[in-house]
Amino acid sequence: MTDAGGRPITALEAGSSLEVGALHLRPNTTYEFRLGVGQDAVTSRAAAVGFARSTSDREGNIPPFVLWYQSGVVGCSLRKERTAESPFTFRSFDEAERALAGRTLTVSVHAVERDPTGRISPMKLATGEPESIIRFPVAPRRNPAVFASNADGCLLNSQLTGEDALYVTGRNFGRGDVLEIAVVPNQRSWTVGDAIVDVTGERAQPAPKRVVVPDSGQFTVKVWDRAAQQRGTYDIIAHRVAGEKDLRVVAARDIISYLRETGFVFYLRYPVGGPTMDIAGRPLGGSPYFEFADSFADTGDPVWGAVDPTYVPAGHPGGSYAAYYVVNHKSVAQWAASNALSDVSGGIEIHPVKAGCVNGTDVIIWNAPMPVGQYDVVVDFGSVPAATAAAYATDAQYNDSVDFLDGADQIGFIVASDPYALGSQPIGQDSYSSDDFFATLGSRANVDLRAVVRYPATAAGTGTPVAPGAHPIFIIEHGNHTSCNTAGFDGNSSYDAVHTGCPSRKQNHLGYMGLLDRLASHGIIAVSIDAYDLTGFVPQLIAERSDLILKHLELWSHMNATATFTTYPDFFSGRFAGHVDMTRISVSGHSRGGEASVGAYMRNLARAVPFSINSVSSIAPVDGQSYVLPGVPYFVILPAADGDVCGLNGQRIYDRAGTALPTPDATTKSGIDVYGASHNFFNTIWAADGDDGAAGRDDYIPAADQQRLGEAFVAAFVRIQLNNEAVYEDMLRGKLRFPSFAGRKIYPIRHETQHSKLESGSGALAVGSGTASVASVSSPSVHQTQAIRVGWTASGAVTYTVPAGQRDASSFEVLSFRVAQTNAASNPASGDQDFMIELVGGGHTKATFASRFGAIPRPYHHISNCTPPNQNVMTTIRVPLHSFIMNNSGVTLDNIDTLRFTFSNPSQGEIYVDDIEFSR
Amino acid sequence: MWMTSNSRGSRRAGLVLACLFAAGCPGPQVSAVAPDSPAPATPAGPRPGTVDSSAYAGTLEITSVRVRRPTPELERLAGPDFVKTAQEPLAIEVQTQKPLPTDARNTSAILLWNGERFTDTWSVRPNRLVAFLPDRSKIKDVNSVAAAWIGNEEASRSRTPLTFRAADIGK
């Protein structure tokens, strides 16, 4: 049991949320957690005060999740008649404290029957006897708490936007405490040091409210005027002010409402206004109010459902109320075979589904924790048309003549686990080493063949058998660093030339073990190779480093099939024979190794029989060879505070990739620019040797956190390419977020093979108006591409008349562009830069704002020795084209004639823009 | 003040419970840390020391250049394959104005010979840069020589390039 901050507890303070997790359960097993009040474990789900189901990981662990919100306090939304039905549901904290005083809570954990067919309704699967029972007391509330409320101090969890002012109530604070109450955008978790950015002022500007706590220790204060409210989900922070120089960051003694829980919701309601459509998604803070989505994280990422009025046929026979069902995904044939609905989300939501605006229909249809899997969403209009929730009666069937379905021919949505999480496969461990194996390798002589290996095994441990089947292979090569732990070797040219005699080699290749483990646990043979002879005070040696990767592939080919590459030994005596899928290979590297992975791909193309390398990735690569990758998926990590490759040269590899193809840029490439990340921290061995990033840099990330996010992103990319786990594409697009990188400033960079480009940096089609100016610039900042620089000093616009051959955008999914703030002083000193995007088609115009879909990065101040010191990396913002047809806008996606960026708020600024495209 | 019926832990839990009773079990205790307070910042421990980057700052100035047949020391750097295949092996040696960095990094100093980047330039401490030519084909009568940090050539290129005359080879 933990509190909302993740700390273990032995008693629940009345009014607090109860989070539970588990250790050492059976691995990969679904469990039901039941909460009862009293000494006895509740015998049925119906008798439970709260229940949830979650699946254990490969270690048998389940991370903490919320089992009981706010000790049953639901506040003013509680109808009196419900009190009798739910005796442990309360209107106020005082009521909860009185009712729970002296009571014992009991949590029981029950294994849920497995259903390999997937045909049994999950809630009908039998549960076993409790495997674990925990009892603990309820303690009186002593610690402070804050929550959203009405003027009377009655708790609110949600409120209609603009209906009434929002108040915040605090309890149990110390007399005379000086607090600053901030309403901030909801985030997954809060840790000391997080920035506090209040949004309650005009146009979401900070306007926190100061409170001096009275003698009672309680207060209720108005924090958000009706007129300034914006739709969205929020958390509330009571920040203890530390003098005038207070930094407005979260401190240890601050109190936060909705820590890891769903935040307070400001919603909108509008008057009621082909059977398959998008339904699952996430709400947005403003127009278009909803973004449909196909992928969700299994924690902290609730699935919302909504019905876009554009989808509702005229004369639709259903009522205005319907139920949202979340069901296991079924193919078209499976739906045809059975249209029975069996909700897996813990209950259906009966809700308005016909409104003038999509946000009149949206509701959370599944809260975390959610089991990893594939799901469809059905809007079931029931047995009779319902005009109210009370009139609704489900028929528990999908009827394609009236009901709506997000699924069937495409998966409705996928729930994925954090790619940092270990998979279910036991991890085998081994290594191989042969000194001076290669008499020559390019310019070098006597080069070693050495690597460490993690692989999917039948049992965890060293040398255990390989798991049945053929497994794809991933090879990573480290970059340059010290090669010898003993002083007097590196930097001595007689050693540097030959690398002999070092009594203690630096184990640079052991710096990625976490990544190898993660991949192996998901069925991938993961190999980190030692480029010892190519490391230290040596030149770049990119060709040799590239060839070393290919040499290791030759070895693995041999260990898979001994008839190939017979000059190699089989270090493992046939253990991997037939277990390596040499048709699925991904290469990667860090720094010089990061350019070598690109080089390996390029030099492989020149081989008589090339290896089947299907993807390439680089962490903070150098770029001395100016390789131009062809159409191969590429992923690059740019550490914004890189103190070694401080020019973020990987951006140039990204920019050039695909440019030489017959159809330029017809390639998929991705990247992330990680603010605060350094060069060395991605390698655990290097991290121990010091921080190359400047001391005192912005957005500092501790080494362990940086390793975690790096492993998560590389693992996600590799699993996409080698395991076809396409759900993680949305993570690389910046649309899917996981705990392993929560709270970090990570700007996605993405380009899709299928696209239709309107702007490649020439500015040829761009027409500025008002005060907006457009200029084409070559290779701005760290880039190696053309871009346009757009500046404005008051209202202005840049308009594109879409060429006739590109006006049908109906086969694309998004309007995509790269953008960054320049170093101009006209950009906002605080707050975000933004502009409006308008699409015109069929005589109709629909607009939204760039900031709804991604932040426009401000320059990262590189305070080491780098030139230029302020670096501008263009991030990719992807605006779903559906945004422009939402709510019956009338815009015709098959005939878009005009695209316009309008600049008015902020009233001035300057940005780089490139690659404006309709894109998949 | 908890117990569990989990069979693997039940005996230990019982012992814990017994100890609590023996000590006079207190009533429910609230945590000293408010349940709604934020998680502590990631325990990063002491920040690792920052590596000194000053040697990589600014432009890379050079003071002298010479071109000659490689000595045995230089041949080892060039490698056996070069020695075996080069028709007329030559080493370009440049002295830098400041000492070269003392740590091995991924960025490195490179020579720019008539503007061409020699990415496999060796850094020989304390202040020598060495690159190799297999023959004279890239040597003009008058040659421009500069140095820079790879990946940041534009900002770090020597402000005052040196001139090398073909007639000075071997001197």
* A397-406, A454-463, B8-17: range with lowest mean pLDDT: B8-17
Best of A865, A866, A870 to substitute, by most chain B Cβ atoms within 10 angstroms, is A865
Q: A222: domain CATH number?
A: 2.60.40
Task: Give yes or no: residues A333 and A205 share one domain.
Answer: no
Q: Which pair of tokens denotes residue A410?
A: 């495409």
- How far is Cα A849 from Cα A696, in angstroms, rounded to an integer? 34
pLDDT at A84: 54
pLDDT digits (tens, 9 = 90+) for B69-118: 999 999 999 999 999 999 999 999 999 999 999 889 999 999 999 999 99
| Residues B113-156: tens digit of each pLDDT | 999 999 999 999 999 999 999 999 999 999 999 999 998 898 89
Q: Are residues A802 and A711 in the same domain?
A: no
| pLDDT surpassing 70 at residue A548 | yes
- Tell me if A690 and B102 make a contact (CB, 8 A cut-off): no
- Same domain, yes or no, for A463 and A406? no
Q: Do A624 and B49 touch (CB under 8 A)?
A: no
pLDDT for position B5: 30
Dihedral, CA of residue A88, residue A89, residue A91 and residue A92, to nearest 10: 50
Percent of chain B at pLDDT > 70 equals 78
The mean per-residue pLDDT over the stretch A813-823 comes to 97
The CA distance from A167 to A218, in Å, is 13
Which ranges of A225-371 would DSSP assign to H, the alpha helix?
A: 332-337
Could you tell me the residue ranges of all domains in chain B? 58-168
Please tell me whether residues A565 and A618 are part of one structural domain.
yes
Q: Is a pLDDT exceeding 80 seen at residue A73?
A: yes
Measured between beta carbons, which residues in chain A are less than 8 angstroms from residue B134?
none
Out of A211-220, A495-504, A546-555, B21-30, least confident range: B21-30
Interface of A with B in 112-131 (CB under 8 A): 130-131
Q: Which is nearest to A613 in space by CA: A592, A573, A582? A: A582
Domain annotation covers residue A273: no
Closest residue in chain A to residue B106, using alpha carbons only: A480
Q: Indicate the SS3 state at residue A850.
A: helix
Cβ separation of A491 and B102 shorter than 8 Å? yes
Q: In this predicted structure, what is the pLDDT of residue A144?
A: 92
- CATH code at A886? 2.60.120.430
Residues in chain B within 8 Å Cβ distance of A142: 30
Residue-by-residue DSSP string for chain B: --EE--HHHHHHHHHHHHHHHHT--------SS-TTSPBPPP---SPPPBPP-GGGSS---EEEEEEEPPPHHHHHHH-HHHHHH-SS-EEEEEEESSPPPSS--SS-EEEEETTEEETTPEEETTTEEEEEESSSTT--SEEEEEEEETT-HHHHS-SS-EEEEGGGTT-
Q: Flag whether A60 is in a domain.
A: yes
Nearest CA in chain B to A133: B4
Do the Cβ atoms of A536 and B57 come within 8 Å? Answer: no
pLDDT at residue A746, rounded to an integer: 98
The answer to whether residues A727 and A783 belong to one domain is no
**Do A45 and A126 share a structural domain?**
yes
Decide if pLDDT at A65 tops 50.
Answer: yes
Chain centre distance of CA A346: 24
Model confidence at A206: pLDDT above 50:
yes
Neighboring chain B residues of A11 at a CB cutoff of 8 Å: 1, 28-31
pLDDT of amino acid B9: 29
Closest residue, chain B, to A595 (C-alpha): B106
Q: Name the β-bridge partners of A20.
A: A65
Contact B50 A131 (CB under 8 A): no
Which of A221, A246, A267 finishes a domain? A267
- Taking residues B62-72, what's their average pLDDT? 97
- What mean pLDDT is reported for chain A? 91
Predicted local distance difference test score (pLDDT) of residue A896: 96
Identify the CA nearest to A873 among candidates A675, A721, A732.
Answer: A675
Q: Are residues A256 and A300 in the same domain?
A: no
Question: How far apart (Å, rounded) are the C-alpha atoms in residues A749 and A672?
Answer: 6
Q: What is the pLDDT of residue A15?
A: 85
Mean pLDDT, range A890-918, rounded to an integer: 95
What is the ipTM score, two decimals? 0.79
Place of tokens 């996409």: A720
Residue A217 clears pLDDT 90, i.e. is over it: yes
Judging contacts by C-beta atoms under 8 Å, the chain A residues touching residue B82 are 443
**pLDDT of A272 higher than 70:** no
Mean pLDDT of B1-30: 33
pLDDT of residue A563 exceeding 90, the answer is yes
**Among A106, A139, A172, which residue terminates a domain?**
A139
Contact residues on chain A for B37, CB-CB shorter than 8 A: 5, 143, 252-256
Alpha carbon distance A292, A284 (integer Å)? 10
Mean pLDDT of A520-543: 98
Q: How confident is the model at residue A268 (pLDDT cuts 50, 70, 90)?
A: low
- With 70 as the cut, is the pLDDT of residue A877 above it? yes
* Distance (Å) of CA A348 to CA A163, A323, A351, A403, A471: 27, 6, 9, 15, 40
Q: What is the mean pLDDT of residues A147-167?
A: 88
Contact A231, A266 (CB under 8 A): yes
Tell me if A493 and B73 make a contact (CB, 8 A cut-off).
yes
- Domain boundary among the residues A113, A139, A165 is at A139
Mean residue pLDDT across chain B? 81
Per-residue pLDDT tens over the stretch A636-672: 999 999 999 999 999 999 999 999 999 899 999 999 9
Tell me: do A610 and A738 sit in the same domain.
yes
> Would you identify the CATH topology of the domain B58-168?
Immunoglobulin-like (2.60.40)
Q: Confidence band (pLDDT; 50, 70, 90) for A907?
A: very high
Find the residue in A nearest to B78 (Cα).
A443
Interface test with B, best of A2, A3, A258, A778 (most B CBs within 10 A): A3
Summarize the confidence of residues A353-365 as an average pLDDT: 91
Distance from CA of A74 to the nearest CA of B (A): 17
The mean per-residue pLDDT over the stretch A726-743 comes to 96
Given a cut of 50, whether residue A40 has pLDDT beyond it is: yes
pLDDT reported for residue B42:
61
> How much is the pLDDT for A59?
79
Instruction: For residues A47 and A68, give the distance between their C-alpha atoms in angstroms, rounded to a whole number.
Output: 14
| Range from A66-75, A560-569, B46-55 that averages highest in pLDDT | A560-569
pLDDT at site B114:
97
Which pLDDT value is given to residue B24?
36
**Beta A875-880 vs A525-529: how paired, if at all?**
unpaired
Could you tell me which of A556, A368, A583 has the C-alpha nearest to residue A472? A583
Which tens digits make up the pLDDT trace of A759-782? 999 999 999 999 999 999 999 999
pLDDT grade for B31, boundaries at 50, 70 and 90: low
Instruction: Give the best residue of A20, A62, A104, A143 to mutate against chain B (max B CB count within 10 A).
Output: A143
Q: Quick check: B30 and A6 CB within 8 A?
A: no
**Cβ separation of B1 and A540 shorter than 8 Å?**
no
Per-residue pLDDT tens for A87-144?
Answer: 788 888 888 989 998 899 999 999 988 876 656 666 678 889 999 999 999 998 888 9
Task: Specify the 3-state DSSP secondary structure of A569.
Answer: coil
A616 and A504 part of one domain: yes
Q: Do A307 and A381 belong together in one domain?
A: yes
A316 shares its domain with A382: yes
Query: Domains in chain A: how many in total?
Result: 5
Residue B89: alpha-carbon gap to chain centroid: 29
Which runs of E-coded beta strand occur in A740-784?
746-751, 755-759, 766-770, 773-778
- What's residue A79's pLDDT? 56
Chain A segment 136-155 residues within 8 A of B by beta carbon are 136-146
Q: Is A655 helix (H, G, I), strand (E, B) or coil?
A: helix
Residue A793 DSSP code: S
In this predicted structure, what is the pLDDT of residue A78?
57
**Domain assignment of residue A49, given as a range:** 12-139
Residues A200 and A226 in one domain: yes
> Beta strand A373-380 with A321-328: parallel, antiparallel or unpaired?
antiparallel
- Lowest-confidence range among A135-149, A177-191, A387-401, A825-839? A177-191
